[in-house]
Structure 1
Amino acid sequence: MSFMKHRFATTVLAGALLFGASNAFAEAVLHRGNGGEPQTLDYANISIDIEGFVVKDLFEGLTIYDAKGEIVPGAAESWKISDDGTVYTFKLREDAKWSDGTPVTAEDFAFAMRRVEDPKTAAKYANILYPIKNAEKVNKGELPVDQLGVKAVDAKTFEITLERATPFFLQLLAHYTALPINKANYEKFGDQFVKPGNMVSNGAFKLQSHVPNDTLVVVKNENYWDAKNVKLDKVVFYPIDDDAASVRRFEAKEMDLVYNFSAEQIKRLREAYKDQVHVTPALATYYFAFDNRQEPYNDVRVRQALSMAIDRDFITSEIYSGAQIPAYHLVPPGMEGYGEGVKPDWASLSQIDREDKAIALMKEAGYGEGGKPLNIEVRYNTNTNHERVATALADMWKNTFGAKVSLVNLDVASHYAYLQEGGKFNVARASWSADYADPENFLALLVSTNTTFNYGKYKNAEFDALMKQSYDERDAAKRMEIMKKAEEILNKDQPIAPVMGNANLWLVASRVAGWQDNAVNEHLSKFLSVSDK
């Protein structure tokens, strides 16, 4: 071999080795379209799924949902429940560590739960932990924070005492409200503990960077107890609420996952991407809330009439291409022991008959043709599907009652912040996805003391009393019957207009492995991997 040939062969071999090495050590990066910008990463003050997707990659509770959507051990390796169902004793994993290498302790959980219930924190979801002894009284300032029924028995043993047996308590502990905080880190940074550079987390990933409205990047936490089974090195979240832009980036292979896309695209996307399109029935309800504080929405006849005039079949079939199902009550089907739930009487009528009845009710209330003008402002969060639904409602109410309807939209974080902070409105779009598979999770939205999620400030003493009774009932079947009676009251009062049962719409690239559809819409990145497909 001549010198020139030898040098060329050596160069080619070296290049091949370098190429092979670069492939072997290439980062495994998952690109997640996340549907909007989180208000915050402080899980005492988040309330929507796009925030939960990020936070649950960073922090791990005592229990978690696995890829199938079933409750499994998280930071706790095991637990024992007392015979009366009121005392839970958790054994934390010996190798559970924070991203700074310090151990995860029982006091980290106790400290975090006390912080959530401390009225100074003003946690939006404090009620999730109300089953814990004294939680509600602590949250309302009636008892000091140290009276909350949580106790660090020792560094790795955590005890929770409940007010009463709560069948779904292990599900509650998988909620972001029950996530731990590194006590030492919080005492150092305070509310700034969620910032890049400050955050210490105990989940499969740790926060690397966050550029609002651009990207949020998390990287593998080498100190996570199960790090050896985490196949991703990095996850990049894109807070894009423009459906069309998300789909374009998916089609350009710039994003591996897209959460929510325009339902009118389902047919085209299925033809092009087949099983990469996922439409999964969810424990979720899409609805419109009426502001019960002001006229004419404080009149039950007006609320009933507006709800009756909504053609749910048109919305689900024409706007959502059959991906959703019409809904006439708040609690979605699929709750164990609850069944289908009770529909209002008018749900059995044809749409034409509903509209006739609605016109009569509206006239009786003094609005519509021959009465006072009906001016309605509909608020919704920016999204192609939501815009199309709001536009359809405007046409239906205009055609049925002669109403003048205007539309107002905000980004998802601003929309929900406005509603949660008590802003006044006429009609506002909202939806609720189950935090746990129990009807109480939906019905509790409209209890008068729920100042965060009872957007329209609905009050009904009989409804509140039934819900209180349901918390005290130990017999499971009787408890479900009590809640059905409570839902019947909602059907009559129509403080909200349920429109459809939600489906979770995802685009999942073929290069993503480990994905499993599930009704609770829980998809931790720790269960996913990517290939070079």
Structure 2
Amino acid sequence: MRVRRLAAWTALPLAVTLGLVACGSGGGSGSGESDPNAAVRIEIAEPQHLVPTNTNETSGSQVLSALFSPLVDYDDANKAFEVAAESVTSSDNKVWTIKLKDGYTFHNGEKVVADNYIDAWNYGAYAPNGQNSSYFFEKIAGYEDLQGETPKAKTLTGLEKVDDLTFTVTLSEPYTEFKTMLGYTAFYPMPKAAFSAPGVLAEGYEQAPIGQGPFKMKGTWQHDAKVEVERYDAFPGEKPKVAGVVFRIYQQQTAAYADVLSDNLDVIKTIPTENLSTAETDLGDRFKQSPASTFQFLSFPTYQKEFSNPDVRKAISMAIDRDEITTAVFKDSQTPARAFVSPVVAGYRENTIGEAGQFDAGKAKSLYQAAGGPSEIQISYNGDGGHKDWVDATCNQLKANLGVNCVGSAEPKFADLLTKLKAKQPVGLFRMGWVMDYPSMENYLGPLYSTNGSSNYYGYSNPEFDKLLAEGSAAPNEEEAIKKYQQAEDLLAEDMPVIPLRFGQNNFGHSTKVTNVEMDLFDRIDLVKIEAVK
């Protein structure tokens, strides 16, 4: 993600048919005249972090998309084009030259220069800083020397300043999709003011991040309440059409939905599952659907003995009737998933998990018993994401089909669940959602399943998988890369560290006070296009 990555809400994933488009731009109840002096109110969950290199969930990334402008963004064909970068070029896919557009300034007035990217990336890559997105710098030369409790170095040898607006990035191995990666949040720059000393984050920076994007902070992060931003008039890119954005933090989606209906909230990014059947009636043309890149799955703590056997994991997958839950709970607004990558990326195949994706209660129970599966299963999920209904439905199926006791366990916030997982505290099976960081098959594989992946919370490690992933990254072209990535995905089907459940689409809504509300593949509202109406 802007951050796409871990999704707090049920984040009704992406439509398999790319013909699905937004249902019109919607309108307001007043004159329809745009009001550039008004702020809009958008629902999010409590972010885990607001430092670019530490933000790997969708609520934090939505906020950062207001405060920062990426080096590249993506067109309708998912091809990268320059935004804050003037050019990103390479003759060998190993040494890349990044030239910055002149005229960008941070919100404190500092001119954006090459050092701001180099300093931010070095900070993110340095292991003792414990940044969630450190993994994304792994391809840059010198990364290994920044790892461990006592690293050999503090800066990446692969980053070199040429002049104030130019720097080079030397990778350890060629990577054809490096330019595509640069749209991700971890690659945002940070100003000198973000650091109290070289490589040391200034106290309080995260509470009021300073970026170089279309909006600047208004006050500080009000935890569990709101993050407020206002238009940055010196921004050299496309100007927002609103004066500001209030990101209102909700613990329950149903409360956000009620606020949209009463015009006390302008945008809800995910319609609660219990309101899907009435949303079109409730909102009319203000109920929207658009393609997304979301992937919903159940994860195993593979480091725990009771879930260490792949046959136990496959049996649980076979005991879940994805089609029934998709219809009964999600009203067919999602699509059952039987693959580890989304249909939106090149290289997707429809059914890569084979028999483990086919519902068969009899086979599931026999396999489960033969593999010595546990008699009790816990499914942990974040209570602020609208997951209770489908988790309960899944538990009911596992009780009936495996003869086990199954309970759902809600953590108050997604950030709380991530914190427990990072500490490897026992949570049983746990719900996860992924929104792509950049449009590539590799992005559904590397961060989630490689040994050092930034979001590998299940402890999965397969050297052959890592090898195939590295070979794909170093392939000379996309076609050859996809062949390696597909082989790596086939290994996941053998090991089943997670259970693919659903792909879907964005299902969102807005009040009568806004128009031109669009949501992208990465679970973000377009903050430049949205308008307030009088």
Could you state the TM-score of these two structures normalised by the residue count of structure 2? Answer: 0.87
- Structure 2 counterpart of 1:19: none
- Asked if the contact 1:69/1:518 (under 8 Å) is kept, the reply is no
Q: 1:104 to 1:56 in 2, by over 3 A?
A: same
- Structure 2 counterpart of 1:274: 284
Quote the Cα distance in structure 1 between the aligned partners of 2:357 and 2:223: 47
2:357 is equivalent to residue 356 of structure 1: no
2:73 is equivalent to residue 73 of structure 1: no
- Structure 1 counterpart of 2:177: 168
- Structure 2 counterpart of 1:11: none
- Structure 2 counterpart of 1:313: 323
Deviations along 1:351-372, whole A, 9 cap, x unmatched?
Answer: 3xx11111110121235xxxxx
- Structure 2 counterpart of 1:204: 214
- Asked if the contact 2:174/2:475 (under 8 Å) is kept, the reply is no
- Structure 2 counterpart of 1:217: 228
Quote the Cα distance in structure 2 between the aligned partners of 1:109 and 1:128: 14
- Asked if the contact 1:138/1:148 (under 8 Å) is kept, the reply is no
Quote the Cα distance in structure 1 between the aligned partners of 2:357 and 2:382: 31
- Asked if the contact 2:447/2:453 (under 8 Å) is kept, the reply is no
Say which SS state the counterpart of residue 160 (structure 1) adopts.
strand
Structure 2 stretches of 5 or more lacking a match?
Answer: 1-32
Quote the Cα distance in structure 2 between the aligned partners of 1:38 and 1:301: 36
Matched residue type, 2:434: W
- What is the CA-CA distance between 1:446 and the residue it aligns to? 4.6
Q: Which residue among 299, 304, 310 is the counterpart of 1:300?
A: 310
- Structure 1 counterpart of 2:391: 390
2:510 is equivalent to residue 508 of structure 1: yes
Say which SS state the counterpart of residue 288 (structure 2) adopts.
strand
Larger Rg over CA atoms: 1
- What is the CA-CA distance between 1:494 and the residue it aligns to? 1.3
Say which SS state the counterpart of residue 526 (structure 1) adopts.
coil
2:129 is equivalent to residue 121 of structure 1: yes
Deviations along 1:44-96, whole A, 9 cap, x unmatched?
Answer: 222101100001211223224579976443322x1141221223323322211
- Structure 1 counterpart of 2:30: none
- Structure 1 counterpart of 2:6: none
Quote the Cα distance in structure 2 between the aligned partners of 1:93 and 1:432: 32
Matched residue type, 1:190: L
- Structure 1 counterpart of 2:475: 473
Deviations along 1:143-172, whole A, 9 cap, x unmatched?
Answer: 523343122211122222223332332232
Q: 1:516 to 1:72 in 2, by over 3 A?
A: farther
Query: How do 1:442-481 and structure 2 match up within 5 A?
Result: 442-450=444-452, 452-481=454-483
- What is the CA-CA distance between 1:348 and the residue it aligns to? 7.4
Q: 1:446 to 1:522 in 2, by over 3 A?
A: closer
- Asked if the contact 1:65/1:522 (under 8 Å) is kept, the reply is no
- Write 1 or 2 for the structure with the bigger share of helix: 1
2:100 is equivalent to residue 98 of structure 1: no
Structure 1 stretches of 5 or more lacking a match?
Answer: 1-22, 368-372
| Number of residues of Structure 1 aligned to a counterpart in Structure 2 | 497
- Asked if the contact 1:512/1:531 (under 8 Å) is kept, the reply is yes
Question: Sequence identity of aligned pairs in percent?
Answer: 23
Alignment root-mean-square deviation, CA: 2.5
Q: 1:263 to 1:447 in 2, by over 3 A?
A: closer
Matched residue type, 2:140: I
Quote the Cα distance in structure 2 between the aligned partners of 1:222 and 1:512: 21
- Structure 2 counterpart of 1:54: 63
Quote the Cα distance in structure 2 between the aligned partners of 1:355 and 1:159: 55
Q: 1:448 to 1:96 in 2, by over 3 A?
A: closer
Say which SS state the counterpart of residue 408 (structure 1) adopts.
strand
- What is the CA-CA distance between 1:120 and the residue it aligns to? 2.0
Say which SS state the counterpart of residue 39 (structure 1) adopts.
coil
- Asked if the contact 2:46/2:249 (under 8 Å) is kept, the reply is yes
Quote the Cα distance in structure 1 between the aligned partners of 2:497 and 2:485: 17
Q: 1:440 to 1:226 in 2, by over 3 A?
A: closer
Quote the Cα distance in structure 2 between the aligned partners of 1:345 and 1:61: 38
- Asked if the contact 1:242/1:383 (under 8 Å) is kept, the reply is yes
Quote the Cα distance in structure 1 between the aligned partners of 2:356 and 2:209: 50
Q: 1:142 to 1:286 in 2, by over 3 A?
A: same
- Asked if the contact 1:301/1:365 (under 8 Å) is kept, the reply is yes
Quote the Cα distance in structure 1 between the aligned partners of 2:366 and 2:504: 31
Matched residue type, 2:107: S
Quote the Cα distance in structure 2 between the aligned partners of 1:159 and 1:486: 30
- Structure 2 counterpart of 1:17: none
Quote the Cα distance in structure 1 between the aligned partners of 2:70 and 2:189: 7
Say which SS state the counterpart of residue 444 (structure 1) adopts.
helix
Quote the Cα distance in structure 2 between the aligned partners of 1:167 and 1:510: 45
RCO higher in 1 or 2 (8 Å CA, sep ≥ 6)?
2
- Asked if the contact 1:69/1:519 (under 8 Å) is kept, the reply is no
- What is the CA-CA distance between 1:304 and the residue it aligns to? 0.9
Matched residue type, 2:363: K
